[in-house]
Structure 1
Amino acid sequence: MKMEELTKGDGYKVPAAHHPFMRLGLEKLEAFHDEVTDLEATLADVVKLGGSEAEKKAGKLIKQLRMFEPSITMIGQIKSGKTSLVNAMVGRPDLLPADVNPWTSVVTSLHLNAPLPVDAPTATFQFFSQGEWDHLVENGGRIGELSARAGADEELEKVRVQIAEMRDKTKARLGRKFELLLGQKHSYAELNDDLVQRYVCMGDDFEDMEEEDQQGQFADITKSADLYLKADAIPMPLCLRDTPGVNDTFMMREQITINALRDSRICVVVLSAHQALTSMDMGLIRLIANVKSREVIIFVNRIDELSNPGEQVPEIRDSILQTLADNNGPEQPELIFGSAYWANIALSENLNDIVSESAEAMFNWAEASLDADTAGMESNELVWHLSGVPQLYRALSERIAEGPGAEVLSASRKRALNLVGGVRASNSMVSMRLDGEQAQVMPPHELMRHLETLETDNLKYLNDRLDIVFQQFGSRVDQSHKRFLDRALESLLQHLENNGEDEVWQYSPDGLRMLLRTSYQVMRRNVASACDQVFNSAAQDLADTYRSAFGVQVENFAITPPASPEIPAPVQLGKTIALDLQTSWWKGWWKRRKGYRAFASGFYDLIEAETAPIVDELKVRQAEDIRGMAERELRDFLAEQRGFLTDISEKSSVNVDDLEDIFGITAQQEREELFDYIFEELSDNVPAEA
Structure 2
Amino acid sequence: MSTANDETRLFISRILRDLTGLKPGIAFVGQIKAGKSRLINGFTGQAEFLPSDVNPWTTVITDMHFGHPSERVKGAEFHFFDNQQWQALIAEGEELRNMFPDDEDSYKREMIEEQVEAMKTRAQLRLGRSYSELLGQSHDLDVLTEGDLERYVCAGDDPADLAEGETPTDRGLYSDITRKAEVYFELGHFPFPLTVTDTPGVNDPLLIREEISRQYLKEADFFVVVLSAHQALSRADLKLFRLMQALELGQIVVFINRVDELGQGAEDADKVRADVQDGLTKALGDASVDVLMGSAQWAHYALTGDESGVDHNRVLAWLRAHPPLLKQYLEGVEEMKKGPGPVSREGALRLAAMIASGLPELRAHVTRSLADGPRREHLQIAWQHLNGFAQGEVERSEARLRVLKDETPDQAEPDERNETLASLRSMIAEKSAEITQELDDQFAMLRGVLDDTVAEMVTAGVRNPDGTSPLLARGNATELDFTALREQMRKLILDATQIARQQVLNGLYAIDMQSNAALQTLPGWNESADSRMNTSAIRWFRPDTTALTRGITVELRISWLSRLFSRSSFVTRAETLITQEFEMIGDDLVDTARTDLQDRIDTVLEHHLALLAGHLEHVDAEGDETTCARSEAQRAFDRARKIADELDAVFRPDRAIDIQPEAAE
Query: Does the alignment pair 1:664 with 2:616?
Result: no
- 2:39 corresponds, among 80, 85, 92, to 85
How much does 1:307 deviate? 3.1
Aligned-partner SS, 1:319? helix
Is 1:69 the counterpart of 2:36 in the alignment?
Answer: no
Q: Distance in 2 between matches of 1:64 and 1:156?
A: 39
**Within-5 A mapping of 1:413-428:** 413-423=383-393, 426-427=396-397
Helix, strand or coil for the counterpart of 2:363? Answer: helix
Q: Counterpart of 2:531 in 1: which secondary structure? A: coil
Partner of 1:193: 146
1:150-169 paired onto structure 2 within 5 Å: 160-169=113-122
Moved more, 620-629 or 526-535: 526-535
**Aligned match of 2:183 in 213, 227, 251?**
227
- Offset of 1:451 from its aligned partner? 1.2
1:114 paired to 2:68: yes
Residue 276 (1) aligns with residue 232 (2): yes
Q: Does 1:439 align with 2:439?
A: no
- Distance in 1 (alpha carbons) for counterparts of 2:508 and 2:166: 61
C-alpha change, 1:606 and 1:196, in structure 2 (3 Å) is: farther
CA apart distance, 1:552: 1.6
Judging changes above 3 Å, is the alpha-carbon distance between structure 1 residues 52 and 349 closer, same or farther for their aligned structure 2 residues?
farther
Please give the secondary structure, in 1, of the residue aligned with 2:537.
coil
1:318 aligns with 2:318: no
Cα 1:615–1:435 change in 2 (3 A) is same
Aligned mates of 1:102, 1:324 — CA distance in 2:
31
In 1, are the aligned partners of 2:79 and 2:180 still within 8 Å (CA)? Answer: yes
| Distance across 1 between alignment mates of 2:136 and 2:274 | 46
- Aligned counterpart for 1:384 among listed residues 341, 354, 357: 354
> What residue is the counterpart of 2:336 in the other structure?
none
TM superposition shift of 1:229: 0.3
Superposition deviation, residue 91 in structure 1: 0.9
The whole-number CA distance in structure 1 between the counterparts of 2:388 and 2:271 is: 54
Q: Alpha-carbon deviations, 1:49-70, whole Å to 9, x = none?
A: 7689878877876776677522
Tell me the amino acid that sits aligned with residue 167 of structure 1. K
The aligned runs of 1:300-339 (5 Å cut-off) are 300-328=256-284, 331-339=287-295
The 3 A distance-change label for structure 1 pair 101 and 669 is closer
Q: CA-to-partner distance for each residue in 1:565-585, whole Å, 9 max, x for gaps?
A: 766865565566679xxxxx9
- TM-score (norm: length of structure 2): 0.74
The one of 354, 361, 381 aligned to 2:309:
354
Give distance in 1, aligned partners of 2:313 and 2:576.
54
- Residue number in structure 1 paired with 2:598: 631
- Post-superposition Cα deviations, 1:350-405, rounded to whole Å, max 9, x if no partner, equal 4x22256xx67656644543554145152222212222212212221321232256
Whole-angstrom CA distance in 2 between matches of 1:505 and 1:455: 54
Deviation at 1:75, TM superposition (A): 2.6
Aligned residue pair count: 621
Question: Are the structure 2 counterparts of residues 311 and 438 from structure 1 closer, same or farther at C-alpha, using a change threshold of 3 Å?
Answer: closer
From the superposition, tell whether residues 621 and 577 of structure 1 become closer, same or farther in structure 2 (CA, over 3 Å). Answer: closer
Contact 1:246 1:257 in 2 (8 A): yes
Does residue 96 (structure 1) correspond to residue 70 (structure 2)? The answer is no
Change (3 A) 1:467 1:326: farther
Residues 301, 340 of structure 1: 8 Å contact kept: yes
Residue matched to 1:173: 126
Q: Which residues of structure 1 form unaligned runs of 5+?
A: 1-46, 580-584
Deviates more, 1:173-182 or 1:369-378: 369-378
TM superposition shift of 1:93: 2.8
**Residue 651 and residue 303 in structure 1: after superposition, are their counterparts in 2 closer, same or farther (change >3 A)?**
same
* % identity of equivalent residues: 23
8 Å Cα contact 1:374/1:382 also seen in 2 = no
State how far apart, in whole Å, the 1-side matches of 2:269 and 2:451 are: 41
Relative to structure 1, is the Cα distance of residues 574 and 362 closer, same or farther in structure 2, using a 3 angstrom cutoff?
farther
Return closer, same or farther for 1:48/1:624 CA change in 2, 3 Å cut-off: same
SS class of match (1:195): helix
SS where residue 353 of structure 2 aligns? helix
* Shift in CA distance, 462/53, structure 1 to aligned 2, threshold 3 Å: closer
Name which of 444, 454, 461 aligns with 2:428: 454
Match of 2:197, SS state, is: strand
The answer to whether the Cα contact below 8 Å between 1:143 and 1:251 also exists between their aligned partners in 2 is no
* Deviations 1:102-125 (CA, angstroms, capped at 9, x unpaired): 99333322211224357x974222
Give the Cα–Cα distance (whole angstroms) in 1 for the partners of residues 358 and 24 of structure 2: 21
CA contact (8 A) 1:425 1:554 kept: no
Q: 1:168 to 1:280 in 2, by over 3 A?
A: same
1:385–1:194 Cα change, 3 Å? same
Aligned to 1:651: 618
Asked if 1:465 is matched to 2:427, the reply is: no
Task: Give, in whole Å, the separation in 1 of the partners of 2:111 and 2:21.
Answer: 47
- Report the counterpart of residue 345 of structure 2 in structure 1: none
Give the drift of 1:435. 3.7
Select 1:412's aligned residue among 375, 382, 389: 382
- Give secondary structure in 1 for the equivalent of 2:304: coil
Q: Distance in 1 between matches of 2:356 and 2:57?
A: 33
Give the whole-Å Cα distance in 1 for the aligned partners of 2:573 and 2:627: 74
Q: Which moved more, 1:202-211 or 1:549-558?
A: 202-211
The superposition leaves residues 471-492 of structure 1 with CA deviations (integer Å, 9 ceiling, x where unpaired) of: 5377448736863674366599
Tell me if 1:394 matches 2:361.
no
SS in 1 for 2:412: coil
Contact 1:140 1:160 in 2 (8 A): no
Q: CA deviation at 1:305?
A: 3.5
Residues 170 and 494 of structure 1: CA distance in aligned 2, closer, same or farther (over 3 Å): same
Q: 1:73 to 1:168 in 2, by over 3 A?
A: same
1:336 Cα offset (Å): 0.9
**Structure 2 stretches of 5 or more lacking a match?**
333-347, 655-665
Instruction: Give 1:332 deviation, angstroms.
Output: 1.9
Please give the residue correspondences for 1:289-688 in structure 2 after superposition, counting only pairs within 5 Å.
289-290=245-246, 295-328=251-284, 331-350=287-306, 352-354=307-309, 362=315, 365-366=318-319, 368-371=321-324, 372-374=326-328, 376=330, 377=332, 378-404=348-374, 406-423=376-393, 426-427=396-397, 435=408, 437-439=410-412, 442=416, 444=418, 447-448=421-422, 450-455=424-429, 457-458=431-432, 460-462=434-436, 464-465=438-439, 468-469=442-443, 471-472=445-446, 475-476=449-450, 479=453, 483=457, 486-487=460-461, 490=464, 501=474, 539-540=512-513, 542-547=515-520, 552-559=525-532, 560-564=534-538, 570=545, 594=562, 616=584, 618-621=585-588, 623-647=590-614, 649-651=616-618, 654=620, 656=622, 664-665=629-630, 686=652
> Letter of the aligned partner of 2:226 in structure 1?
V
Shift of 1:289: 1.4
Q: Following the alignment from structure 1 to structure 2, what is the Cα–Cα distance between the partners of residues 538 and 262?
A: 38
Paired position in structure 1 for 2:137: 184
Q: Residue 40 of structure 1 aligns with which residue?
A: none
TM-score, normalization by structure 1: 0.72
